[in-house]
Amino acid sequence: MTYTSIWQRVEEFRTEHTPLLNADKIPLDLLKFVELDLSLDLVRFDGLADEFSADAALLGDFSGFYIDGYIFDRIDTASHSQQNRLRFSLAHELGYYVLHKVRYESENIADFDSLKEWLNYHSGDKDEIERDANEFAGRLLVPIEVLEPLFEKLAVAFDALHGLHGWKNRQDLRKQTCEHLSQKFGLHPEGISTRLHREGLWPNIY
């Protein structure tokens, strides 16, 4: 899928699920959204993070999401970094759910084991699906209608302090900007850096 087509599907999905996914709800409460709006189950899975390097995973029958047992037991007391990691993991799995559900169903994938087996035997497809899910997650968590005006305000301030566009090669300023914006969106600074690059607002030259 192209980035443009993924972005279009994200915005359609956001519109379909108002108000919980509205841009003014950031950082998005995806746990609440999954349970209340999608009526999907959240299932405890011990060792999910250790075995699959993910805090959440889509159930093979699309009835809900696994949550790593350690995080599941600490959802109400998790640190900001843990909450941010879980938020992105859930958004990533929602990308599978929204973008590729029909494809999985056509392959008769009905449980977690059959999903793992299919992914293992379709490594090229797996890479594309992962990329699509990551892009879906990034655009869902960082709505362009919120990011762009925030960045434009920062750009005006940077122009005044560092000269017209003289700051765009300053990696220290880029890092500080990403750290600042990450608090707004509930996302790791690297995720903000990716959005700035992908949306063409502040392309990373490295």
pLDDT per residue as tens digits for the range 180-193:
999 999 999 999 99
d(CA 58, CA 9): 19
Query: Given the structure tokens 């030259």, which residue do they identify?
Result: 205
Query: Taking 60 as the threshold, does the pLDDT of residue 61 lie above it?
Result: yes
What is the CA 200 to chain-centroid distance, rounded?
18
How confident is the model at residue 42, as a pLDDT?
95
Residues 6+ apart with CB under 8 A from 130: none
Q: What is the pTM of this model?
A: 0.89
Task: List, in order of start, the domains of the chain with CATH numbers.
Answer: 3-141 (1.10.10.2910), 144-198 (no CATH)
Mean pLDDT of the chain: 89
- In this prediction, residues 46-65 reach a mean pLDDT of 90
SS3 category, 66: strand
Query: Taking 90 as the threshold, does the pLDDT of residue 135 lie above it?
Result: yes
